Chain A
């Protein structure tokens, strides 16, 4: 896979299909790849990688990159293509300047997942079938690939590549997953338990804005939280209320636009499961207004910008629906 990604990228540049390639660049370690724009086949062959640690969703970079001169080729995993389509739906990407290469994805691994398994001092990693052989400062460890998977990949919703000009690997299908299991588990708790759960999680928030800045849906010119005229501007969560406010409003603003790519949770330095807030809203919208997947097509109206005469009343929530 890695070889065909690199060769495709190099040949796109060599044949002049594009002038730039947006991909992943190797780092100091096996896992710390950085999104990067490559302008020559040499650079691509030298530094570009496609490994199970290329979690970063590159679609958001296209907002700026697709407005520059010349065509840019971009490598997108299935879940990234949902963001790609959604951003186009919101007129944020100049599609004609983009050559989209879909890359089938085996599921991405995460150094944090390895560390959660108790591994320390990660220095190398080789994949052998379903096993990762991880070199550490304290010796070699074998880890089942499934255990190294990034949290978001454990509930992969689709392997389908949307709106690509070329595909590496095979076109995939939508998957039946239990991605709402954790949401359901929380719903089954009492309000007090849920409050305690979220207080514990959200009180970790340091308002670094990584979740917001990585989020393809959070692509506002100026976020309301940065806008001194919005009345809600704040730079730090100066009280527990503000910790809640930021994440409630963010979830609400991306409702119907969030493709559930899971980047927010991946990048959170404090390991807050932020995606659960978005998933909760996705689950609600699916149940209340019909199944909708943001970025799955160009036509369907997002549920928050639509209605039916028969929509349930808000009392379905306030008078108790989630069981008591």
Chain B
């Protein structure tokens, strides 16, 4: 059994290609550290993130999911992050309504210039999820080893 001290969460970060993925690149270029538990998936725009992907991540064993996109007003596709904002707000609210810990999901706007913010965000999010412990409420036991 995992105890909280040794618990290393699995965290999926969906990053839009134009701002946040580049921001993550920048934090690498600047050698800013954040935990290795964070794995980034590149999507063209924050509006590409289907709620199903988030649920899928939780099903398969993620303990936290974060979406990063361009700041409102700076979307490469002009409006994508505005749609993403509404969708994620409602999805998170619905998950909260179902009793899923609301800290397990997050949206953060990170520009291509905000390498430091990206690293800080990931550090903070990892810390939050570690404190929260493993995802139990949206896990699928079938994805565990037999």
Q: Report if A and B associate in a common complex.
A: yes
For the complex, give the distance between the alpha carbons of A8 and B102 in Å: 53
> How far apart are A302's CB and chain B's nearest CB, in angstroms?
11
B140 touches A239 (CB 8 A): yes
Given contacts A249-B51, A289-B86, A307-B82, contact A315 B100 (CB under 8 A): no
> How far apart are A220's CB and chain B's nearest CB, in angstroms?
14
Which of the four size classes fits the interface of chain B?
A: 35 or more
Closest to A202 in B: B98
B91 touches A252 (CB 8 A): yes
Q: Which residues of B contact A187 (CB under 8 A)?
A: 97
B52 touches A194 (CB 8 A): no
- Chain B window 67-86, contacts with chain A (Cβ cutoff 8 Å), 1 for yes, 0 for no: 00000110000010011011
Q: Which residues of A contact B113 (CB under 8 A)?
A: none
The one of B51, B56, B79, B141 that contacts A239, using a Cβ cutoff of 8 Å = B141
The answer, yes or no, to whether B120 is at the interface (CB within 8 Å) is no
The answer, yes or no, to whether B119 is at the interface (CB within 8 Å) is no
Q: Which residues of B contact A252 (CB under 8 A)?
A: 51, 90-91, 94
Q: Which residues of A contact B26 (CB under 8 A)?
A: none
The one of B73, B79, B99 that contacts A191, using a Cβ cutoff of 8 Å = B99
Closest to B66 in A: A318
A251 touches B99 (CB 8 A): no
Q: Which residues of B contact A309 (CB under 8 A)?
A: 72-73, 82
Q: Which residues of A contact B89 (CB under 8 A)?
A: 284, 288, 311-314, 316-317
A241 touches B139 (CB 8 A): yes
The answer, yes or no, to whether A125 is at the interface (CB within 8 Å) is no
- Chain B window 99-134, contacts with chain A (Cβ cutoff 8 Å), 1 for yes, 0 for no: 111110111000000000000000000000000000
A241 touches B107 (CB 8 A): no
The answer, yes or no, to whether A143 is at the interface (CB within 8 Å) is no
Q: Which residues of B contact A197 (CB under 8 A)?
A: 99
B98 touches A248 (CB 8 A): yes
A to B contact number (C-beta, < 8 Å)? 119
Most chain B CB within 10 A, of A197, A239, A248, is at A248
A314 touches B140 (CB 8 A): no
For the complex, give the distance between the alpha carbons of A7 and B52 in Å: 49
Q: Which residues of B contact A231 (CB under 8 A)?
A: 52, 56
Q: Which residues of A contact B101 (CB under 8 A)?
A: 191
Given contacts A191-B101, A241-B59, A245-B59, contact A314 B95 (CB under 8 A): no
Given contacts A241-B138, A249-B51, contact A314 B82 (CB under 8 A): no
The one of A198, A249, A314, A316 that contacts B98, using a Cβ cutoff of 8 Å = A198
A244 touches B90 (CB 8 A): no
B142 touches A284 (CB 8 A): no
For the complex, give the distance between the alpha carbons of A314 and B83 in Å: 11
The answer, yes or no, to whether B37 is at the interface (CB within 8 Å) is no
Q: Which chain A residues (184-234) contact chain B, with CB distance < 8 Å? A: 186-187, 191-199, 224, 231-232
B90 touches A285 (CB 8 A): yes
B107 touches A314 (CB 8 A): yes
The answer, yes or no, to whether B15 is at the interface (CB within 8 Å) is no
A249 touches B55 (CB 8 A): yes
The answer, yes or no, to whether A242 is at the interface (CB within 8 Å) is yes
B106 touches A314 (CB 8 A): yes
Given contacts A191-B99, A194-B99, A318-B92, contact A244 B83 (CB under 8 A): no
A244 touches B98 (CB 8 A): yes
Q: Which chain B residues (25-64) contact chain A, with CB distance < 8 Å? A: 51-52, 55-56, 58-59
Given contacts A241-B59, A245-B55, A309-B82, contact A314 B138 (CB under 8 A): no
- A-B pairs with beta carbons under 8 Å apart, 13 shown: A191-B100, A194-B96, A195-B100, A199-B99, A231-B52, A232-B52, A239-B141, A249-B55, A277-B94, A313-B107, A314-B105, A317-B96, A318-B106
The chain A residues found within 8 Å of chain B, CB to CB, are: 183, 186-187, 191-199, 224, 231-232, 238-242, 244-245, 248-249, 251-252, 255, 277, 280-281, 284-285, 288-289, 303-304, 307-309, 311-320, 322
